[in-house]
Structure 1
Amino acid sequence: MTSATSAHRPTTHHPTTQEPATDDPVVVDRREGPWGEVVLRRRAERMEIISNGCFLMDTSDGTSERLLVRAALDALDTADGPGRPTPPGPRRDGPARVLIGGLGVGFSLAEAAADPRAGRITVVERESAVVEWHTVGDAPLARFSAGALARDDVRCVRADLLDHLRTTDERYDAICLDIDNGPDWTVTEGNAALYGAAGLRLLRGRLAPGGVLAVWSAAASEPFEERLRAAFPRVTRREVPVLVARGVPDVVYLASA
């Protein structure tokens, strides 16, 4: 099964004067679900999502998650997709239909909801607990998704991403994927199918004419980039600087037909 829960490598955190001296995590909620245990933790001023003991992501930054969406929408405004010059007039007849794979802590959704170029937004998340952390009770993650799940133009699909792609008739102007640490570091083994040749054909088939696929990765992956170039005629790679302690830059791949 393919997880639609965002997964990022952990960042090195340095306490500030506003934070407690200890950086020990405090469990906010713990759930058992169809895919195992999922935990929401608070560590000083940031929140963390842990799945089956594996760190998925936290709220310490969000720069690359926001760039994922912004770069996809920027590419839609170009003449022929990623890497092409911007034409003098709008490319589409109306706002972009956006699919976000993985809700996570909500940075990507918040970015899409705040951008006037985005119209109907569909976010696919298989973990009910993650959705509820944004919507139920005190909703500890709601401020990071800016309450976007309550909007009429935002639809949340609680499903495995591959299942949704295989069963939906919808076509999207932008598909933004942030469900793993990248094509080479997936949350579950089944996720690898999304980044293979068949998965890329499926993703391309769910794009509207002129649509853009954006994929987040914790590091560059040459094998994935080769498969991406075999599936799409236009591919670019954007690097996102990160904290020195984290090493190599994050990467956002952009592809269009």
Structure 2
Amino acid sequence: MITSDASGERPVVLDRREGPHGEVVLRRHRGLFQIIANGCFLMDTSDGRSERLLVRAALDALDDRGSPSVLIGGLGVGFSLAEAAAEPRWGLIRVAEREEAVIDWHRTGPLSAITSAALADPRTGLLRTDLLAHLRASGTRYDALCLDIDNGPQWTVTEDNAGLYSGDGLAACRRALTRGGVLAVWSAQPSEEFEDSLRNAGFGRVRTEEVAVVRGVPDAIHLATRVA
């Protein structure tokens, strides 16, 4: 169902679908596209600095290796994918997205303006799958994992997402990395507790980069390395 608002002051619903994990909505408000999941605001196209930094910070943290591979967890509005595809140093780019609606919004919908070039890049592959299920089952190893699944490890979109940040979930992330590989996790706020969880899961070089926002607590990129 599409609603309209000629003034642009009220949000306009462009698509609403019921998926396997609840309702997902794409809407437009004051020229921006927004993704809402189960009534929870996830992201919009207003900025994207921290989503792009997620990918850049992971690449900068890698040791000097040629054509590293990256798995991006969550397609979202596409800023992380666009950043990865704009960087020629990445050799292989994969994106795991479990919501068919989000994929459609990028392939044939309004969000294609952000990611059409990235999706056409021969290095890019789009995986319609749950991220944690993919990490546990595929056996593929990546040089970097860039996760932007939730609003943070302590603010998940669905309850089952919490498993990704548990000891078992972080262990699966670690196993999916090459030696010296980097895990980067986007969060709406820094978390010392999550840093401790990363260390307890066997990661080294754990640190957090903060990204200032217009108002409120800074966004955060949690970084950790598989050292052995």
**Structure with bigger RCO (C-alpha 8 Å, 6+ apart):** 1
**Offset of residue 147 of structure 1:** 2.8
Residue identity in the other structure for 1:166: R
Select 2:214's aligned residue among 234, 243, 256. 243
- Checking the alignment, whether the CA contact within 8 Å between 2:182 and 2:224 is kept in structure 1 is yes
5+ residue gaps, structure 1, are 1-19, 78-90
In the alignment, does 2:78 pair up with 1:120?
no
Letter in 2 for 1:201: A
* Structure 1 residue 151: Cα displacement: 2.2
Amino acid at match of 1:226: D
- Confirm or deny that 1:204 pairs with 2:162: no
Report SS of the residue matched to 1:143: helix
Percent identity of equivalent pairs: 63
Task: Give the Cα separation in 1 of the matches to 2:117 and 2:43.
Answer: 19
1:63 alignment counterpart: 49
Aligned length: 220
Letter matched to residue 64 of structure 1: S
Letter in 1 for 2:12: V
Q: Give the alignment partner of residue 205 of structure 2, picking from 234, 240, 253.
A: 234
Summarize the alignment of residues 5-44 of structure 1 with structure 2, pairs less than 5 Å apart.
Answer: 22-44=8-30
Q: Which amino acid aligns with 1:174?
A: A
Q: Which runs of no fewer than 5 residues in structure 2 stay unpaired?
A: 1-5
CA displacement 1:123-169 (0-9 Å, x = unmatched): 00000110011112xx2001222531222211111011111011112
- C-alpha root-mean-square deviation of aligned residues, in Å? 1.3
CA distance in 2, matches of 1:208, 1:50: 34
* Cross-structure match for 1:130: 102
1:51 to 37, 50, 58: 37
Aligned 1:79-90 pairs, distance under 5 A = none
Q: Secondary structure at the match of 1:144?
A: helix
Runs of 4+, deviation exceeding 3 Å = none
Q: Give the counterpart of 1:163 among 113, 127, 133.
A: 133
| TM-score, reference length from structure 1 | 0.83
Q: Shift of residue 21 of structure 1?
A: 5.8
The answer as to whether partners of 1:174 and 1:213 remain within 8 angstroms in 2 is: yes
